[in-house]
Each structure stands twice: as structure tokens, then as C-alpha cells.
Amino acid sequence: MQRDQVYQKTLRHFFKPVADLLFEREDISEVLINGHDRVYCERSGRLELTGRSFPSAHALEIAVRNLAEYVGRRLDEHNHSMDARLPPPDAFRVHAIIPPCSRLGICLSIRKFGKKNETTLEWVVKKGSLSSMAAEYLALMVQTHRNMVVSGGTGSGKTSLLNALSFTIPSHERIVVIEDSSELQLAQEHTVYLEAKQQGTDGKGAVSIRDLFIDSLRMRPDRIIVGEVRRGEALDLVQSMLSGHDGSLSTVHASSPLLALVRLETLCLMSDVVLPVYVARMQVAEAMHVIIQISRMPDGTRKVVDISESYGLGPGERYRLKPVFRLVSKRGGETELAWTGKNSRFGQTVLNSMVAESRVLTNPIWQKNQLKKDNE
């Protein structure tokens, strides 16, 4: 029996109290263990207390240490937490934190991913998270190499939407994907996946997102997709967009399109390159073309609530944003992602592109006469 098979069997043994949630239940997307006696799961966007428990804190500790050994991580007095991704066929993303940093005992978060990515924009529309018109608009933005960022909170569906957007990238393009923990599953054959690496037990060998980003620029990418920008690598991403690598996609934690740009600006300033604030702001404003805001609603569903275009900086060096789509309330309490009536600044780009014939629902957004009025 091979090493991976041994660990897969032992994982099922040590995690027996939640084994069915992890390995059998496709409707469960996340399992959250808060100490040995409180286990939650996420189903259909809602968290539920499962009533499951481990026999003791020691039993949970053995399970987590077995997991850490499987993925080559350490949890001890010098390493209070770990991030890891289990290899296929499970491909879970896990985060663990141990006492005394966790007062409840060991806390473990396990996010599950489908074995095959089927998250297309059409699927997102069927789920009610996006309108058909907005989906066509986003597809055209991807195909015409606009730089796009998906903004939202934790668990809002940013990665799933990023996956869906990636399906619209032409198959002939070379894509480099960079992530902390590999989650994205692209349909395109010519895709290179790069994953950050934590330091080893000797404190050496760490490879950051920023390191991988620098590597990616030497790999002749047509597209660079960064799963999430969290630190100073935001500056590298922004500067690559400004230097000809159009069509980049990424996600960021923020609660509105404006705050997404502010967040990116702040992350740029966290780089080891010393920049004046106005320079970082100007670069973010020019590099980012489309900001998509997605939120988790009170009923647990995920919806795109705003799609805005960046128009650079305005008076007072403030970001200028124009909402193209916004979530509006309809009669009966329903909501719809509706076109605002504003025209796209990229109308001429779309009309002159090879994908112009793909326009079916979005024709009014690109109209030349409307564009002229918008730009006056």
C-alpha cells in the first residue's frame, strides 16, 4: 500500500466522527471544528451545529497531528497554526490552530472542493447569483483582456466566481495560476499552477506568492491569475498590469468596489518598495478595470451585488467608479442584478474586438451614441 493510501485510510479513522460529512456528503461545503465537542458544517450557505463530537481533546489532537504529518507541516510551541491542502482525491483546504492561541482547544477549518470544476458563468446564473446580461458583460470583459478583481468577504463565493470567469478565457492562451493553497480548477489545458510553500521545520524553504509572481513573469503568460492578494504582492500584480499583462484576474477581501481599490492600495504600500501614497493610488486606479462585488446574503445564498468600472482618479485624487450593474429589489422581496443604464468605457474596445459577435444581451451597454454622452 502506498504512503498516500495509508494516510487516506488513517484520516478516515481518526476523523471518524465527521468522516461522512467530509467524504460522503456532497451537500456539505465546509466542516468547522471548535474544540473536540463542537462541530459545525456549512450546508446551502448556512452554518449548522451538527451534534457531532470527538471522544476527547486528545483524540482530536491525534487526528490533527496525523493530518499535519500527512501534508508535511508541524504544530508545536513554535508553530501555532498551519495552512495546507490535501492532495487528490480529497483536495480539502485545511487550517488548524492549537492552544494556547485557541482558547477552545484545537480549532480546525476544512473547506471541501468538488472533484471536477463545473462552476461556469451559466451555472452561476442558474443559481441566481448573476443575471444573464451581466454574465455576458463579464465574459466580454474577460475575452477583451480587461483587468478584473472579485471583491467580497470570507465565504462570499469569490473563488467560485473567479473559477467561473476563467471558463471564458480562450483555450489558446497560456495561463499561470498563483495561489497560497491551490483551489482553482481551470478547464483550459494550457494552465500552469503555482502554489506557495511554507517554511520547513528548519525555518527555511518558504516560497511566497510574491516569489511565484516574479517567476510567472518569466514564463511567457498570456494571463496571470492570482487566487487572492493579501500582502505586498499586490504591487507586483498592479505593475504587471500596467506593463502589458492585461487580462489579469484576482480576488481581494473588501466590502465594496471602492474599498476593494483602497484595500489594493494599502497592500501595495505593504511591499518592501517605498512608494508615495499618491503613486500607489494612481497605479491601482489605472491598472484595475472592472471590480465585481459578491456577497453572502442573509438566506445563505451568494449574489453579485455590484459590477463597477474604474475611471482613474478624479478631483482630490479620489477613485472614480461607475456602476454598470447593481442588485435592486423587486416586488415580492426578490432581487435582480440590473443594468444601471450607464455605458461601458470599454465600448469601443468590445465593438472593435474579435468577440464582438458574442454580443446578444449587452448591445445597449456598448452603443456609440451613448458612449459619447457618457464621456462628455
Mean pLDDT (whole number) for 323-337? 90
pLDDT value for 206: 81
Cis peptide before 100 (omega within 30 of 0): yes
pLDDT at 74 over 60: yes
Query: Which pLDDT value is given to residue 119?
Result: 83
Average pLDDT over the chain reads 89
Q: pLDDT higher for 204 or 92? A: 92
Which one is predicted more confidently, 109 or 93? Answer: 109
Q: pLDDT of 202-214, one tens digit each? A: 667 788 888 998 8
**Higher pLDDT pick, 116 / 261:** 261
How far from the centroid of its chain's Cα atoms is residue 209's Cα?
14
Per-residue pLDDT, 200? 67
pLDDT at 116: 57
Residue 51's region, left for phi above 0, alpha for psi from -120 to 50, else beta, is: left
pLDDT for 374: 46
CA distance 187 to 156: 22
Say whether pLDDT at 253 is over 90: yes
Structure-block grid coordinates of residue 365: 451597454
pLDDT band at 344 (very low <50, low <70, confident <90, very high): very high
The DSSP result for 271-312, as a single string, is SSS---HHHHHHHHHHH--EEEEEEE-TTS-EEEEEEEEEEE
Cell numbers standing for residue 122: 451559466
| Closest-CA residue to 324 (of 257, 264, 251) | 257
Q: What is the dihedral of CA 362, 368, 370, 374, to 10 degrees?
A: 110
Strands 175-179, 191-195: parallel, antiparallel or unpaired by DSSP?
A: parallel
Q: How many CB atoms lie within 10 A of CB 298?
A: 8
Q: In sequence order, which residues have a C-beta less than 8 Å from that of residue 256 and are 6 or more positions away?
A: 151, 293, 306
Alpha carbons 253 and 153: distance in angstroms, whole number: 5
Rounded CA gap, 200 and 204, in Å?
5
> For position 73, what pLDDT does the model report?
82
Check residues 259 and 182 and name the one with the higher pLDDT.
259
pLDDT 10s digits, 8-66? 788 889 999 999 999 888 889 899 999 999 999 998 788 999 999 999 999 999 999 98
pLDDT confidence tier of residue 132, bands split at 50, 70 and 90: very high
Residue 89 preceded by cis peptide, ω within 30: yes
Query: What's the pLDDT score for residue 373?
Result: 46
Kindly give the pairing relationship between strand 249-253 and strand 148-152.
parallel
In the predicted model, what is the mean pLDDT of residues 363-374? 66
Q: Which of 216, 16, 167, 181 is nearest to 91 (CA)?
A: 181
Residue 49, Ramachandran bin (φ over 0: left; ψ between -120 and 50: alpha; else beta): beta
Assess whether pLDDT exceeds 80 at residue 4.
no
What is the mean predicted confidence (pLDDT) over 289-310? 95
Burial class (CB in 10 A: 0-12, 13-18, 19+), 37: middle
Quote the pLDDT of residue 309. 98
pLDDT for residue 5: 76
Contact of 261 with 5, CB cutoff 8 Å: no
Q: What does the block give as the cell for 312? A: 482613474
Overall average pLDDT of the 303-325 stretch: 96
Query: Which whole number is the average pLDDT over 334-349?
Result: 94
pLDDT over threshold 70, residue 201: no
Structural contact between residues 324 and 365, judged by C-beta atoms closer than 8 angstroms: yes
For the chain, which domains are there? Answer: 3-111 (3.30.450.90), 121-375 (3.40.50.300)
